[in-house]
């Protein structure tokens, strides 16, 4: 049970990191899009 808990925790942390990365990329793309629309 302990091992399962540790693994679940690691997976959750990994998912958090990936989500943060995707959210950052999305924010950058949205900023680029706004700049492109301003031209």
Domain boundaries defined on the chain:
1-39
The mean pLDDT of the chain is 97
pLDDT over 90 at 35, yes or no: yes
User: For residues 26 and 30, what is the distance between their CA atoms, to the nearest angstrom?
Assistant: 6
pLDDT over 90 at 20, yes or no: yes
Question: Residues of the chain with pLDDT > 70: what percent?
Answer: 100
pLDDT over 90 at 39, yes or no: no
CA distances (Å), 29 to each of 7, 23, 33, 38, in order? Answer: 33, 10, 6, 14
pLDDT over 90 at 6, yes or no: yes
């Amino acid at each position: 049970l302990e091992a399962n808990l540790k693994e679940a925790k690691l997976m959750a942390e990994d998912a958090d990191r990936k989500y943060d990365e995707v959210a950052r990329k999305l924010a950058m793309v949205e900023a680029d899009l706004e700049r492109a629309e301003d031209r």
